[in-house]
Structures are given as structure tokens and as C-alpha cells.
Structure 1
Amino acid sequence: MEPTSLILCAIESAARAYPDRPVIFFMNGLSDIITEEDEKNIRKNFPSLSSFNNVYFLPLRFEDLFTDTPLLSWYLQANPAQEPYWIHVLSDACRFSLLWTYGGIYMDTDIITIQPILIDHFVVAQTKIEFSSGVFGLSPQHALAWMFMENFVQNYQGKIWGHQGPGVVTRVLNKTCAHTKINLNQDVKCGSLSFFYPDHFYPIPYQDWERYFKEWDDFPTFNTSYGLHLWNFMNTAQKTMVPGRNTLVEHLYKNYCPSVFDAEVKKQKEN
């Protein structure tokens, strides 16, 4: 119930980029929301987001979410104590099921949105041979989302990092879009599905993730990017945005989540 400033920035930046669309953050720690008073009380926990009427917080109920999908049997049989990446594979399962149920755009909470995506069906290439599961868009009950869930269960290997996330998307698309190849410089199409090239979200590759937390003399414009993925899994030292450091991440906060940035400045002064 205490999201990091990066998570709050991800939510705010999405809310600003999509003012006419609901931005929904599902939280495992939330109790059920039944009345308007319940919703108001939840919003009090996140004062930096209180001015955004398009932001909603909803409880994440795994069994309910997976009901009537291929994921339910996997979830009921899973033993979290034996899963080295349990939170991560559970998150992978949730995103596929959420897109199947609700449609829209799924984004990891370490993505800072820069500009809106105006395409309904898309996936993002991470490398020349692999797709990302950190961001993708589909309409509700899209056949691909069902294939993702089936592949997740049929090829489950939770002990291999990435096998249940990028691995699922890559395996399914290699089969269903076998004649469409990733292009690293421009978007390509497989039917109505767009393959975004990596710069749309990954102009800084995961090997260089620390560049977000270093000082820059001249900040890049990221004109071809819809958002920036900050590779939080790589950030084992838990580096954060610190006001006054002139880092790239501070620059991004100022421009795309100024409310969260102001809250961090205030917190710094109080400490």
C-alpha cells in the first residue's frame, strides 16, 4: 500500500497522456470498493494523484481474475514457496488475463509515459529476436490474449527468468506471425497487429539502465518514444529519483509527473 515514487510517476504520466481514458492501478492490498466513500478513502493514500479524475485504484483478486481462463488451474496448483520468481510470474499471468478481460493498454509500473499511443493492437520488440511483455495493447477478448494465457500454462517454466513474460509473447508471435519479422528501425504489421520497434519504449537498453540515474549535460528528446522503461528489475541497489541531482530521471519526473516530483521535493525538505 506504499507505492514507490516511480510507480506513482508511471501512473501520473499515463493519466496526463490519456486524459480521456481511465488509468487503472490494480493493487493486491486493497479491500473491496463498494461505495463512493470507499473510493475517496483509497484516494487519500495517494495525494499526489488526487487531482486526476481518470485514475482509479482497484483490488487485484487473483482467483477472480483467472476464473474462466486457462490460468486458473495453474494458479490453484502453484506452490509459491517453490517458485524463485513467484511475484514476477504471477504478474505475467495477471497482465495477460487483464488484457483478455478488459482490453486496453497494459504497462509495467516502471514505464514513464511521454505521449499517447493511438493504435489499439500492438506489441513492442525488445531486441531483433524478442518481444516485450512490459507493454502491449489489445481489445477485450482478443484471440492473442487467449493464446498468451494458453502458452503460459502449456510451456510453464517458472524457474527461468523471462520465460513466462517476454518468452510467452515471443513464442506465440513467432508462430502466429511467422512471416512478419521484427524491424529495429520502423514499425511493421502482422494483420491488424503492429510490431513497434524498440526505440518506442527502450531507447536505453537494459544493459545501460543506470544512465537514467546519472547526470546529463544535454537531455535527449526521445521524440520517437511513447514511453521509457526504466528496467527496475536491474535496479538492485534501489536507486531513486533525488531532486537536485540533474539526472535524467529527475528531468523525466519534472516533465511527465510534476505532481509526484513536487511531492518528492516537499518530502526532501521535510527530512
Structure 2
Amino acid sequence: MEKDNSTKKSLSEVLDLRQLRHTNSPVFSTVIFAVIMLLVVAGTILSNMSLESTFFWSSPTSQVIQMNRMERKPLAPPNNSTSRDRIAWLRSHLTEFEVFRSTNLSKQFHQRVVDSLDDKCEVRFFMTWFSPAEFFGKREILAVESVFKSHPRGCLMIVSGSLDSQQGDSILKPLIDRGYKVFAATPDISLLLENTPAKSWFQEMKSFKRDPGRIPLHQNLSNLARLAILYKYGGVYLDTDFIVTRSFKGLRNSIGVQTLLEGDSKNWKTLNNAVLIFEKHHPLVYSFMEEFASTFDGNKWGHNGPCLVTRVVQRARETIGDNFTVLPPVAFYPFNWLDIPRLFQTPKSSNDSIILKTDLVKLNRESYGLHLWNKFTRKLKIGKGSVIDIIVSDHCVVCRGIQR
């Protein structure tokens, strides 16, 4: 009834019906009919839009879900730019990088870490998020939830200015309401890098004396921030596309192999920095930061991340000894980016089902987690009954909107 009254009111505001009654002109009749039809059609469209939105966000029975529907536009200079162009670009866009800011809130970062990650934490976890909060989607939420599925008494600090906000609070609230210790804190990168070999690199970048490169600078700042955080506080760093499947409680000073040498089951070719586990002030992490500052190249994918830790570890045994462990690929990277797409697919044959069971045994018994390789799988849908579908179901804790 309220809706009908509203419609009548809208009509009377558009046309004075009393005046129209006194004319026999077909034009006025046509106008009345057109206005009525317009309102009816508009109401139908709005109603359908509302229903469609409700269905997408609340339906628990869809056979596939798509993670991270929004496309993010990376903050990066044009691909064909020169070094001088890129430095000029950084100068004009510096204010858009929250990590270069120093505020009253960011200066509290150290104390907030100390207060939040106390001795009661079963394991200390860190993640970084230097993108807008609205891009912290289903996949990232699943990564966070999986931490607490395996570590209900663990603590997670998400180093992020955008999530250290009301919007971030609403994203993390379902976990906080259930008693899980997850926090977001705005970093002060300049203070975080004090007394580290990367401090000068940051100052030079901020004062436009270094080429940021063509790769989004946020990515390389994340590569550096994770090292500084582990060096200053110790703990476990995880990428936001890593799903934890087993407790990390027994791991110390460890890094994982991404790929082995071809035809060699023992000797490795490449390490990765998506998962790092180190104690406070570990010399290997210090060496990582030295390498970052001295060899930085913002034009090569992986140069300041996986390739960096690979270079340093290859030299490290001669310089700092064996006080760290290199874990095999199955620990953190059981499936590479070429193999992982099949984990999203619904099994279509008995052979597919056998392979699926084998994959799940590997993930649940031999691996500590699964790196989803967002760069390659972001747009993939999760097939019903697929490995990823089962992993989502088994390792979420709130499970709102991220499982069937």
C-alpha cells in the first residue's frame, strides 16, 4: 500500500490530473499512458536489480563462485616510459601511495604490534595489503580464515592503511566477533626501516632519486615491508592468496622451494617469498634487505621477490651458516601456476576423481598450505566438487559468501 501511494504521489507531481480531465486531446492521453508505463518499467527494473544483487551475495547453492569480481588498476607508470619519465610519474603520484605517508596513526604502528601480538599468540602471522580495502575480496578473506582454522589461538596482523579503517573493521568483524585475534594496522615504513640496510633505499625513492620501474611499486614495497616486519618482530609472513591447511607451530626459520632443477628431486632451482618464517633479527632476513637495497630493479618481475631470496640463499650457507631450513616444494607450493588451474575444475570422470583424492591427501598430509597464484587464477571459477571447492569448505571458519 505504501508503494502504491508513493507511485500515485509521483504521478501527481509530474502531471496535474485534474487539468487533464478537462481536455479531450489525444496528446494528453498519450502522455499519461507513457508516464504510467515508464514508472511501471522503472519499478520492475529496480526490483529485478535488487533481487539479482541479493541472489549473488546471499545464495549458498550456486555451483560455482567467482572470487574477486572487481578488476584493480595497478598504480604504475606507462609501460613505454623512460627512467626519467617514471621518476616524474612518481613525483606526481606520490600522494596516492599511502605507504609513503607518516601520520599520527602510522607512528603508533610499533606499539600496536607489541600490544596486539603478545606471548599469548600461538603463532604470530603477518600479511600486507597496500591496495584499497574494497579489493580485499573473497579470496583474501579465505586466506585469513584459513589461518584461524589451523591456529584458533593464533594472531594475525594485516599491515595495511586501507584496512585500518571503518571499512576494514566491517570486513574483519565476523572473525573478531568469533573471538579470533585479527588486527589491521597502518604502517610507518620509514620508521619500520630504521636501523635496516633498506632505509637509504626508501629515502632515495621518496625523494625521487631512484627509478621506481614499470612494475607497480606497491608490489615491491610489499616485498620489502614483509622483510622489515619479520626482522623487527619475527613470525610468519603469508601472501593473501595462500590458504593454510596445516599448523605452522613447529616451523622455525624456514623458506620454501618453488621449483626443483629439472630431473632432480633434491636440488632446487627457485625459492619463493610468499611464505617466510623467521625469528626476530635473523641474519638471513637482514641479508635479504641488503640485497633488496643494493640490487633493486623495478622493471623485472620477481627480481626483488622470489629471485632475490633465491640469490641470497644460494650464497648464504657460506656466509651465515645453516641456521635456517629450505623446505621442499610440497610444503608451500605443491602445485605450480601451470598445474593449479585443474584444481578449480569439477571432476568429470573416475580418473579425475582418483587424481582429486590424491591431490587432497597431498594438501592435507604433506603440505602446510596452498599458494593460489592469483596472477594466473584470479578469474577462474570454482567448480562444484573440485579440489578448491573442498579446500574452501574445509578451511574456512565463517564461510560467508566463499563456499557453496
User: How high is the TM-score relative to the length of structure 2?
Assistant: 0.56
Q: Could you tell which deviates more after superposition, 114-123 or 48-57? A: 48-57
- Structure 1: tracts of 5 or more residues without a match: 33-37, 180-189
Matches of 2:147 and 2:194, distance apart in 1: 28
- Which residue does the alignment assign to 1:126? 258
1:16 paired to 2:149: yes
- Which residue does the alignment assign to 1:191? 322
- Which residue does the alignment assign to 2:284? 144
1:152-163, aligned counterparts within 5 Å? 152-163=292-303
1:56 paired to 2:183: yes
Query: Where is the helix percentage greater, Structure 1 or Structure 2?
Result: 2
Matches of 2:151 and 2:296, distance apart in 1: 35
Amino acid at match of 2:257: A
Aligned-residue CA RMSD (Å): 2.4
Determine helix, strand or coil for the equivalent of 2:272: coil
1:26 paired to 2:159: yes
Determine helix, strand or coil for the equivalent of 1:135: strand
Q: How much does 1:20 deviate?
A: 2.7
1:238/1:72 CA distance change after superposition, 3 Å: farther
Q: Is the 8 A contact 1:212 1:230 kept in 2?
A: no
Matches of 1:49 and 1:233, distance apart in 2: 27
1:115 paired to 2:254: no
1:211/1:120 CA distance change after superposition, 3 Å: same
Amino acid at match of 1:77: E
- Which residue does the alignment assign to 1:71? 198
Matches of 2:221 and 2:379, distance apart in 1: 22
Structure 1 runs of 4+ with >6 Å offset: none
Select which of 96, 101, 114 maps to 2:227.
96
- Which residue does the alignment assign to 1:35? none
- Structure 2: tracts of 5 or more residues without a match: 1-132, 260-267, 348-352
Q: Structure 1 vs Structure 2: percent identity of aligned residues?
A: 25
Q: How much does 1:42 deviate?
A: 5.0
Q: Is the 8 A contact 2:172 2:182 kept in 1?
A: no
Select which of 30, 45, 52 maps to 2:171.
45
1:81/1:248 CA distance change after superposition, 3 Å: same
Q: Is the 8 A contact 2:212 2:298 kept in 1?
A: no
Amino acid at match of 2:193: F
Matches of 1:66 and 1:176, distance apart in 2: 22
- Which residue does the alignment assign to 2:388? 249
1:116/1:85 CA distance change after superposition, 3 Å: same
Determine helix, strand or coil for the equivalent of 2:226: helix
Q: How much does 1:178 deviate?
A: 5.1
Q: Deviations over 1:18-70 (max 9, x none)?
A: 223311111131458xxxxx8xx853333442314222222233223223322
Q: Is the 8 A contact 1:148 1:172 kept in 2?
A: yes
Amino acid at match of 2:401: A
Q: How much does 1:240 deviate?
A: 4.9
- Which residue does the alignment assign to 2:401? 263
Q: How much does 1:81 deviate?
A: 6.4
Instruction: Report how many residues are paired.
Output: 245
Q: How much does 1:122 deviate?
A: 0.6
- Which residue does the alignment assign to 2:379? 238
Matches of 1:75 and 1:234, distance apart in 2: 30
Q: How much does 1:137 deviate?
A: 0.7
